[in-house]
Structure 1
Amino acid sequence: MIGLSFVLSASIIPVIIVLCKKFRIYDSQDERKIHKGNIPRLGGIGILIAFVVSCLLYFYLSPDTEIEHVMPLIISGSIIFIFALIDDFLNLRALFKLFFQVVAVLIVLFNGYRFEKLCDWVMPLWFSYIFTFFWMIGIINAYNLIDGLDGLCGGLSFLVIGSLGIIFYNSAQPTAGICFIMAAAIFGFLIYNKPKAKIFMGDGGSQLMGFMISALPLYYSTFNFEYNKILVMIVLVSIPMLDTIAAMWRRTREHRSFMSADSRHIHHKLIALGFSKVQTLIFLLSIQIFLCLAAGLGMFLKEDKGAILLVVIFVFMIAFYSSIHFIYYTVTKNNPVDIKTIQDDSSELKIKLKK
C-alpha cells in the first residue's frame, strides 16, 4: 500500500495542477511567502486522497488489523483539511478555523488517544487531556506557519512521519503502516513541490501535516518510546515549534495579532543572511535529518540516558535559533531586508537591501 499511496499522489497532483490553472486557483501572496507568479495551491488534495484510499485498503486487506485503528485519523484529518481548504477560498475568521481544529482534536481525544507519561511521571488524567489538546492545536498551526518555502513543510513532514514509522515498526506495525503510507503520499507531492515548485499544498495540506504529526505519536508503542515519547516528539518538531514560539513572542511584543503574517520566519532570516532558496531548504532539511537520527539514537539508549540526550539536543536547537536570530538582527539592524524585493532567477535568490 506504500507504493499505491505514492503512485496515487504522484498521479493525482498533475491533474490538480491542470485544473487549478484552468480555473485560476492560485496561491495568494502575503508577507510569509516568497514565491513569484501564479502557483496552483491545492496539492493537499492529492496527499489526502492517496492517504485515505491506501489506508482504507491496507486495513481492509490486513486480517490482523482493525479499521477502527485509523478512523479517528481519517475523520479528524478530513475535518482539518476541508475547513482549511474552505479558508483558502473564503478567508475565514481565525476563530472559525480554530473551532474546527478543536472539533477534530476532540474526536481524537475522545477515542482515547493521548500522552500518558513524561519519563517516569504518569500524568493525571485531566492534565493528560489538556496537555495533549494544546500539543495538537499548537503543532497543527506550527506546520501551517512554516509552509513558506518550496519543499519545506512537505520535506520536514516526510522526514518526521517516516521516522515515526521506523520507531513504530517493531512494536505497532499497523501504526507504522499508517506512517509509511502518509510519508509515501507526501513524497509523491514533493516531486512537484521541490524548487521551483509547480504546486503548493495550501493551508489544507500544511494543517493536515501538522495534524498527522501531532496525532500519530499518541498511538501506544514500546515502553522505551512511551518513556521518552514527549521528548522525542519535541526534538522531532523543534524547527516549526521554535519558529512558532518566536513568531508568537514577536507579534506579542509588537502588539500584532497572532494570525498576522510577517517575513521573519527562520527561512526568511536565512535568505536574508545570503542563503539561496535551495540552500535554505537543504540546510533546514539537513538539520531535520540530524534531529531524526538523534531521536532514533535516544530510542535505543537506556531510558534515562535517552532522555538526557534528547534534552541536550533540544537545548542545542534553542541555541541554534537564538544564534540565527542574533545574527539576523545584527546584520539587518541598519540595513533592513525588504522581502518583497527578492528576485528569483531559478538558480538563486538575490536579496536587495533597502538603501
Structure 2
Amino acid sequence: MKTYIAVLLGSVLWAILLTPVVIWVARRVGAHDEPGVRKVHTKAIPRIGGIAVFIPTLILTSAVLWLDNAVSRAFREIEWQIIALAVGATAAFGVGLADDLYQLRARTKFIVQVAAAVLVCAFGIRINAFAVGDWMRIEFGLFSWPLTILWLVGICNAVNLIDGLDGLAAGIASIACAVIAMLAIHTGMAVMAVLMLALLGSLLGFLVFNFNPAKVFLGDSGSLFLGFVLGASSVMCSQKSVTMVGLALPFLALGVPILDTLFSMLRRTLERRSMFAPDRSHIHHRLVDLGLHQRHVVLFIYLVTATTTGLGLVMMITRGRETVVVFCCVMLLLLVVFRMVGAIRLRETIERIRVNQRLARDNKETRRVHDRACLTVRAAGDFEQWWQAMCAAGKEMDFVWLSASYQDDAGVEQIIVWRNPSWVPDSGRVLDVRLPAPPWSDVPSLDLQLGVAINGSLETASHRATQFARLVDEYRPVTRPREGGVSASDRSVGRDALWTPSRSGPVA
C-alpha cells in the first residue's frame, strides 16, 4: 500500500512541476490551439500538455518496476506484455505529438493506432473470452485479434473526441484510472495498479493547469496516450478477471466518450460524411449550446461518469445474471442522459434512414436510365436522332423541358425545345441548368438548357442533371442540325422568354 501511495503522490508532484515547463516550451515553439468554429476557447492555448502526463507516468512506473519488491517480481512475470504496452503507448503518444506540432492527416494517425494495437495483440494482450459467471462463456479464438484492435483504437478515438472542453478528457480519464486501479488491486494485478495510479497522479497534477480556465490542453499526444493505456490496461485486467467485470467496468467508466463516439459515427454515416470529418455535435457541445457554462458542463459530465462508475462497482460483488442486470441498468441511465441532451433523436434518425434509402434508390435508377440512354445515343446517326435520344433520356429522368440553341451557317440563332407532356404546370419546383457544350468536328457549338423536376430533393435533381451532362460529354452528334430551326429573331418575345419553362415555345 505504501508503494501505491508513493506512486500516486510522486506522479502528482512530477506533473505539477513539469506542466509549467511544457507550457513555456509550447509557447516557444508555437504549439498553440487557435480559436475556431468548433472551438469554445477564445484565445490561443498551448496544446502539447500530453508531455506532462506521459513523462511522469513513465518515470514513476519504471522506477517502481525496477526496484526489488513484490511489484517488480510480478512485473517479471508479464515483462514482455508490459514492454509491448509501453511501446504501443509511446507510439500513440508520438503520433499525437506529431499531430499537435505538424497537423498530420487523420488516416496517418489511424494507421499508427492500428499498428500499436497489433503490436500488443502479438504479445498476448487480447480479449480472448467473455464470461458471465458460470452462466455463459464465449471464446473468441482468432476473432480476439480484430476485437482487441477495435477496442484499443476505439478507446483512443473516444478519449480524443471527448477532449473538447477544459479538463473534460483528463477528468474522465482520472475516474477511469481510479476504477481500473481498484479492479487491478481486487484481482491481484499489482503492476497494472501501479501503472494506473501513476497515470492517475499525472492527470491530477495536470488538471491543476487544465481545468477551466485552462492554461494548457492535453492535445492529441495526451488523449491518444490516455486512450491507448486505458484500453490496453482494461484488456489485461479482463484476462485476469474471469468474469465480464474486467471489461464492463472500464466500459462504464468510459461510457460517456464511448457512446459519444458511437453516436458521432452514426450521425456522420447518416449524413453521408467521412468518419474523420469534424463536427460540433458532441455531448459537450450540445450542453454548451443549451446555455451551460463550460465549467458546469464539465462538472456535470464528471458527475455522470462518477455516478455510472459508482453504480458499476456493484458488479464486483454480484454474480452471473445479476451482473448483466446491473450493467444494463447503468447503460440505460447513460442512454437517458444522452437522450436528454439531444444526442439521441430516434424519430430524426429513422427519418434520415428513410431519406437516405430513397436517395439511394433514386440515384440507382438514374444511373440505370443513363446506361440505357447510352445505347440509344451511341447508335444515333445524325443530329435529329441524337436529339430524339436525348429527349427520351430527359423524359425518363423526369425533365420538364430541354432546349438547344445554335447558330446556322448564316449566323442566325436557331432554337429547338422539347417539353415533357406529362408535366403539369405549377406542380412543383424546377431546377434550371445550362450546359455550354463545346464545339465538335462538324457541329457548331450547342447551348443546352434543361429544367429538372426537383421532386422534393435538390440532390437527386442535380444528380439527374449530372448524369445527363455525362451523356452530352460522352456522346456527341456526328452531323449538323438540319436547316429549318426556329430563329430567335423571328419571335415576338425576347430571347430570355424562350428559356422560361412557363412560356410557350417551339417544339421539334
TM-score (norm 2): 0.62
Aligned pairs for 1:168-207 (under 5 A) are: 168-170=184-186, 171-207=188-224
Is the Cα–Cα contact under 8 Å of residues 263 and 343 in structure 2 kept in the other structure? no
Q: CA deviation at 1:328?
A: 9.4
1:304 aligns with 2:321: yes
Q: Tell me the residue number matched to 1:53.
A: 59
Q: CA deviation at 1:122?
A: 2.6
1:65 aligns with 2:65: no
- Separation in structure 2 between the aligned mates of residue 134 and residue 158 of structure 1, nearest angstrom: 22
Relative distance call for 1:50 and 1:326 in structure 2 (3 A) is closer
Tell me which moved more, 252-261 or 171-180: 252-261
Partner SS for 2:292 = coil
Aligned pairs for 1:75-224 (under 5 A) are: 75-118=87-130, 119=132, 120-170=136-186, 171-220=188-237
Q: CA deviation at 1:62?
A: 4.0
1:27 to 14, 20, 33: 33
Relative distance call for 1:62 and 1:175 in structure 2 (3 A) is farther
1:319 aligns with 2:319: no
Is the Cα–Cα contact under 8 Å of residues 106 and 276 in structure 2 kept in the other structure? yes
- Separation in structure 1 between the aligned mates of residue 300 and residue 261 of structure 2, nearest angstrom: 19
Tell me which moved more, 122-131 or 267-276: 122-131
1:289 aligns with 2:306: yes
TM-score (norm 1): 0.87
Is the Cα–Cα contact under 8 Å of residues 35 and 44 in structure 2 kept in the other structure? no
Is the Cα–Cα contact under 8 Å of residues 2 and 181 in structure 1 kept in the other structure? yes
Q: CA deviation at 1:233?
A: 2.8
Q: Which amino acid aligns with 1:131?
A: L
Q: Which amino acid aligns with 1:136?
A: L
Partner SS for 1:325 = coil
Q: CA deviation at 1:30?
A: 4.3
Relative distance call for 1:49 and 1:251 in structure 2 (3 A) is same
**Stretches of 4+ aligned residues off by more than 6 angstroms:** 326-330
Measured against aligned partners, the alpha-carbon deviations of 1:154-185 in whole angstroms (never above 9, x if no partner) come to: 00000001111011113212211111111111
In terms of fraction of residues, the more strand-rich structure is: 2
1:17 to 14, 23, 36: 23
- Separation in structure 2 between the aligned mates of residue 163 and residue 298 of structure 1, nearest angstrom: 12
Q: CA deviation at 1:144?
A: 0.5
Q: CA deviation at 1:259?
A: 1.4
In terms of fraction of residues, the more helix-rich structure is: 1
Is the Cα–Cα contact under 8 Å of residues 149 and 267 in structure 1 kept in the other structure? yes
RMSD over aligned CA atoms reads 2.1
Q: Tell me the residue number matched to 2:473.
A: none
Relative distance call for 1:238 and 1:32 in structure 2 (3 A) is farther
- RCO (CA 8 Å, sep 6+): is it higher in 1 or 2? 1
Is the Cα–Cα contact under 8 Å of residues 9 and 47 in structure 1 kept in the other structure? yes
> Larger radius of gyration, structure 1 or 2?
2
Is the Cα–Cα contact under 8 Å of residues 32 and 265 in structure 1 kept in the other structure? no
Q: Which amino acid aligns with 2:84?
A: P
Measured against aligned partners, the alpha-carbon deviations of 1:36-64 in whole angstroms (never above 9, x if no partner) come to: 11111111011111111111111001432
Relative distance call for 1:141 and 1:204 in structure 2 (3 A) is same
- Separation in structure 2 between the aligned mates of residue 6 and residue 71 of structure 1, nearest angstrom: 23
1:4 aligns with 2:21: no
How many residues are aligned here? 330
Q: Which amino acid aligns with 1:185?
A: S
Structure 1: unaligned runs, 5 residues or longer: 331-355
- Separation in structure 2 between the aligned mates of residue 142 and residue 326 of structure 1, nearest angstrom: 15
Q: Tell me the residue number matched to 1:345.
A: none
User: % of aligned pairs identical?
Assistant: 27
Is the Cα–Cα contact under 8 Å of residues 224 and 303 in structure 1 kept in the other structure? no
- Separation in structure 2 between the aligned mates of residue 232 and residue 123 of structure 1, nearest angstrom: 20
Is the Cα–Cα contact under 8 Å of residues 26 and 47 in structure 2 kept in the other structure? yes
2:256 to 234, 239, 247: 239
Is the Cα–Cα contact under 8 Å of residues 5 and 184 in structure 1 kept in the other structure? yes
Q: Which amino acid aligns with 1:195?
A: N
- Separation in structure 2 between the aligned mates of residue 46 and residue 104 of structure 1, nearest angstrom: 21
Tell me which moved more, 36-45 or 233-242: 233-242
